Amino acid sequence: MIHIDYRANEMYVVVVGANSGIGQSLCKQLLEANASVFGLDIQEESTTLKSENYTYFQVNPLIEKEMKNVVEEIKNVTPCICGLVNLSGTIDRFKSIEETTLKEWNTTYDISFKSCFNAVKLFLPLLKKSSCASIVNMSSGLAFAGQKNYGAYATAKNAIISLSRTLATELAPTIRVNTVAPGAVDTKFIYKEDGTTRFDKKSYEHLVPLGAIAKPQEISHVILFLLSQGASHITGHCIHVNGGALMS
Ligand SMILES: NC(=O)c1ccc[n+]([C@@H]2O[C@H](COP(=O)([O-])OP(=O)(O)OC[C@H]3O[C@@H](n4cnc5c(N)ncnc54)[C@H](O)[C@@H]3O)[C@@H](O)[C@H]2O)c1
């Protein structure tokens, strides 16, 4: 376990997708590291995080006006934030490109990619005021591995990497920008409504050299590291966290 303590500098971090499995774990770890956290998500707050350093905003990350209101509310608390994490993502439908409608494509793209673009644009003024700002965006191993029926999601997650690399060059040396690309993670993301997984979990685990699907905290801990000064010389990078399932 790396030890990160934000208290000395009163660090504020914004997590978009804070109600996600990975987001909940990240917010908990950030609070344990004494950061102040603003959690944003489209759903009603379902968190068990009870801390005076945690503020939740129910907001649609795709609606600029709603997001601008949140930025204004945050500005009333602090003039700068040192971290922005973008975790929104969905696989709307499992279909081949041939079967995917434009509407389905756009839905997956909007949630999995454009929400990130939107949040980055709106929070940049606050990030620019920090002396050690860092952005972490969520990609996926599927962005790298060709796999049928994941077209919209995989290309959206690939776009996240391109966006992050572009930002890393445009915002250097003031703001670092990195991505994390997990393999399968044990959150509700991989389960269907009937409680079964969207893929054969046992077969997947059999293929993973480390022999298991990731726990959310194994992903959030890497995000925490990328946000920290321990990663002060890392930008434009994508960290794969997949138990060795994909080696690149
Ligand atoms: N779980 C995995 O196997 C896995 C693997 C690789 C990448 N990821 C990525 O990790 C991130 C977090 O996912 P998770 O595993 O914690 O799953 P999750 O299902 O708990 O989280 C999904 C997140 O996307 C948000 N979201 C869903 N629909 C939305 C909409 N219509 N508008 C706005 N936001 C919406 C949810 O509110 C939530 O914050 C996602 O970007 C996902 O693509 C997950």
Task: Phi first, then psi: give them for residue 107, nearest 5 degrees.
Answer: -60, -50
pLDDT, tens digit (0-9, with 9 covering 90-100), for 43-61: 998 767 889 999 999 999 9
Domains delineated in the chain:
7-187+216-241 (3.40.50.720)
Mean pLDDT along residues 109-128:
97
pLDDT at 248 exceeding the cut of 70:
no
Task: Tell me how many degrees the CA angle 121-217-26 measures, rounded to the nearest 5.
Answer: 35
Average pLDDT over residues 133-152: 94
Q: Evaluate: CB of 208 within 6 angstroms of ligand 1.
A: no
Closest CA to 95 of 150, 175, 170: 150
CB of 83 shorter than 6 A to ligand 1: no
Cα within 13 Å of Cα(38), Cβ side: 27
- Confidence at residue 8, expressed as pLDDT on a 0 to 100 scale: 52
Roughly how many angstroms between the first and final C-alpha of the chain, as a whole number?
24
Task: Report the range of poorest mean pLDDT among 43-52, 84-93, 143-152, 174-183.
Answer: 43-52
Of residues 48, 124, 52, 49, the one with CA closest to residue 86: 124
Residues forming beta bridges with residue 86, ordered by sequence position: 16, 137
Contact 22, 220 (CB under 8 A): yes
C-alpha to C-alpha distance for 121 and 157, rounded to whole angstroms: 18
Task: Name the one residue in this structure whose structure tokens are 């959690």.
Answer: 39
- Residue 143: which of 106, 171, 113 has the closest Cα? 113
Determine the pLDDT at residue 1. Answer: 47
Q: What is the pLDDT of residue 91?
A: 87
Nearest CA to ligand 1 atom 35: 88
Atom of ligand 1 at shortest range from CA of 157: 43
Q: Average of pLDDT values for 26-54? A: 92
Q: 129 by DSSP, 3-state: which?
A: coil
Q: Report the percent of the chain where pLDDT is more than 70.
A: 95
**Tokens representing residue 43 in the block:** 């759903």
Q: How far apart are CA 225 and CA 216, in angstroms?
A: 15
Establish whether residue 156 lines the binding site of ligand 1, counting it when its CB lies within 6 angstroms of any ligand atom: no
- Angle, to 10 degrees, between the axis of helix 115-128 and the axis of helix 151-171? 20
More confident residue, 95 or 7: 95
- Mean pLDDT over residues 164-175, rounded? 98
Question: How far is the centre of ligand 1, averaged over its atoms, from the C-alpha of 22 (Å)?
Answer: 8
